[in-house]
Amino acid sequence: MCANSCGVHGNGVSQVILALVLTLFDSVHGDGRHWEQAPLGSRPHSVTITEFGAVGDGKTLNTLPFQNAVFYVRSFADKGGAQLYVPKGRWLTGSFNLTSHLTLFLEEEAVIIATKDSSQWPIAEPLPSYGQGLDLPGPRHRSLINGYNLSDVVITGNNGVIDGQGSIWWDWFHSHELNHSRPHLVEFLHSEEIVISNLTFLDSPAWSIHPVYCSNVKVHNVTIKTSLDAPLTDGIVPDSCSNMSIEDSNISVSHDAISLKSGWDKYGISFGRPVSDIHISRVDLQASSGAALAFGSEMSGGISDIHANHIRIRSSSKGISFRTSPGRGGYIEEVVVADVEMNGVHVAIEFTGNWSSHPDDHFDPSDLPVIDQITLKNMEGTNISFAGVLSGIDGDPFTAICLSNLNFSIANLAPSTSWFCSDISGYSESVFPEPCSQLHKPSTNSSICFSLSSYSALAVA
């Protein structure tokens, strides 16, 4: 049970201990060149977590060794950086921060395990574009692995595992025993040149990978899994980021597999940083109670220039979902999603202007979002209950919703009406079942549809 004392737990390591660590390693390793325990890699220097006293028995708490190791490798930042090597074993730890010019490498059968002791997850202020935590007003727990104002960081491995042991947090969420919003597994803030690859992420307390206010981010060859009945667990959440790619990955979670966000109501409007220039390709997605690919609903800073293709969606509540609400402000525009296969999806395409959750009561309902120039192209679906539920906002319709070459096989027990539409306008061609009348056939005005006839130029290698 998360007692009221949940908070910062000795996060800083005393200067005395740090001085001893540095003295010990300088005496043993001299100038810090490659050490035998670590494999050679792209970094000119390497350390192994065991050299800082870590024990991989799944029981010994290794928060301090991880903190000390990261502190030590900072000294190599101007020498090409360093690798922190995690060998085979089960490495129990609380929250720790990374540093620039660092590679965190998990060997095969290496498992970083998040402690269930909430005091090992320090408390941080809410993100400025959100105004509060997502679960509760006020602060939030920091993530397991954190980066702040960093550059050139790689988290990778030989299919090692990062296990969030999220079930205890899910229980606290369900029983209303949380004192602060739940942590994520990996979070970077105000950082650039980030690579996350070749790892498996299990059972995050909330979101698995959350880059926010970042640029030049690549996530590829990752597997993300949580229990399919866990509350509001998302996979990858690009949040007010630019120039990011997500490729060749498999995500199976309870809520949203990939969710693009940019802030919440007046906080996101004021912060004003969109998520843009995002490329998603060759991903296999499952979202038992959410959407495989979600836009919003926290999108007050704007979402634009999103290209997603070669997507497989299975056994999900929603396939592709665009969510917003009066009071959000912002925009979702210039989005192209193409080459999608769906199977066992309740609602293939969703647009909703009534996603009414707000951080507080101070939102302005007159801050209306703009949803425009959304192209969905080349999609096949089997065992689909509803082809589309598209509902804009009264007085603020969603425009230029463009559908091309969609073919959905409706499940035998599904309702006879496959499309529901209100407060939207757009165009369609080669769509089965026949869509709503609001999505009429292309005309001389259909050029407003963003890249409807020129998708080939968007192919992502």
More confident site: 250 or 26: 250
- Per DSSP, the residues of 116-179 read S-GGGS-EEPPPTTTSS-SSSSS-EEPPSEEEES-EEEEEEESSEEEE--THHHHHHHHTT--S
Angle, helices 15-29/63-73, rounded to nearest 10 degrees: 60
More confident site: 431 or 16: 431
Contact 62, 55 (CB under 8 A): yes
Contact 49, 91 (CB under 8 A): yes
| Domains of the chain as residue ranges with CATH | 35-167+178-196+209-224 (2.160.20.10), 256-461 (2.160.20.10)
Q: Is 139 exposed, middle or buried (0-12, 13-18, 19+ CB in 10 A)?
A: middle
pLDDT digit string (tens) for 232-242? 999 999 999 99
pLDDT band at 447 (very low <50, low <70, confident <90, very high): low
Contact 331, 398 (CB under 8 A): no
Mean pLDDT computed over 360-367: 86
Q: Is 15 a residue whose pLDDT tops 80? A: no
CB count in 10 Å sphere of residue 58: 11
Q: Is 246 a residue whose pLDDT tops 50? A: yes
Residue 61 and residue 168: Cα distance in Å, rounded? 17
pLDDT band at 65 (very low <50, low <70, confident <90, very high): very high
Residue 294 bridge partners (DSSP): 259, 321
- The residue assigned the tokens 């290794």 is 62
Output the CA angle 278-264-359, nearest 5 degrees: 150
Predicted pLDDT of residue 37: 32
For residue 166, the number of C-alpha atoms closer than 13 Å in the C-beta half-sphere is 32
Give me the amino acid identity at 368: L
pLDDT digit string (tens) for 283-319? 999 999 999 999 999 999 999 999 999 999 999 999 9
Q: Which of 66, 62, 104 is nearest to 84 (CA)?
A: 104
pLDDT digit string (tens) for 395-425? 999 999 999 999 999 987 655 679 999 999 9
Contact 139, 89 (CB under 8 A): no
Looking at residue 14, the DSSP 8-state letter turns out to be P
pLDDT band at 14 (very low <50, low <70, confident <90, very high): very low
- 428 contacts: CB under 8 Å, gap ≥ 6: 402, 403, 404, 406, 435, 439, 440, 441, 442
Mean pLDDT computed over 429-438: 92
Residue 363 and residue 352: Cα distance in Å, rounded? 18
Q: Is 384 a residue whose pLDDT tops 90? A: yes
CB count in 10 Å sphere of residue 274: 23
Distances from the Cα of 321 to the Cα of 240, 290, 316, angstroms: 18, 9, 12
Predicted pLDDT of residue 388: 96
| Range name among 171-185, 272-286, 346-360 with the lowest pLDDT average | 346-360
Backbone angles phi and psi of 322, in degrees to 5: -115, 120
Q: Which of 447, 347, 452, 440 is nearest to 404 (CA)?
A: 452
Backbone angles phi and psi of 363, in degrees to 5: -75, 155
Strands, E, within 254-298: which ranges? 258-260, 275-287, 291-295
Predicted pLDDT of residue 441: 66
Mean pLDDT computed over 35-62: 81
Mean pLDDT computed over 207-224: 98
Residue 436 and residue 424: Cα distance in Å, rounded? 10
Tokens encoding 277: 């220039």
pTM: 0.89
pLDDT band at 22 (very low <50, low <70, confident <90, very high): very low
Residue 283 and residue 68: Cα distance in Å, rounded? 36
Distances from the Cα of 43 to the Cα of 82, 99, 113, 153, 218, angstroms: 5, 14, 25, 11, 18
Q: Which of 246, 125, 245 is nearest to 181 (CA)?
A: 125
Q: Is 182 a residue whose pLDDT tops 90? A: yes
- Pairing of β 424-432 and β 398-410: parallel
Residue 110 and residue 114: Cα distance in Å, rounded? 13
Q: Which of 215, 380, 364 is nearest to 314 (CA)?
A: 380
Residue 312 bridge partners (DSSP): 284, 341
Q: Is 109 exposed, middle or buried (0-12, 13-18, 19+ CB in 10 A)?
A: middle
Q: Evaluate the CA torsion angle 293, 297, 299, 303 in order and state its sign.
A: positive
Looking at residue 49, the DSSP 8-state letter turns out to be G
Looking at residue 77, the DSSP 8-state letter turns out to be G
CB count in 10 Å sphere of residue 215: 17
Residue 79 and residue 69: Cα distance in Å, rounded? 17
Contact 393, 353 (CB under 8 A): yes
CB count in 10 Å sphere of residue 379: 25
pLDDT digit string (tens) for 85-109? 999 999 999 999 999 999 999 999 9
pLDDT band at 360 (very low <50, low <70, confident <90, very high): confident
Q: Is 459 a residue whose pLDDT tops 80? A: no
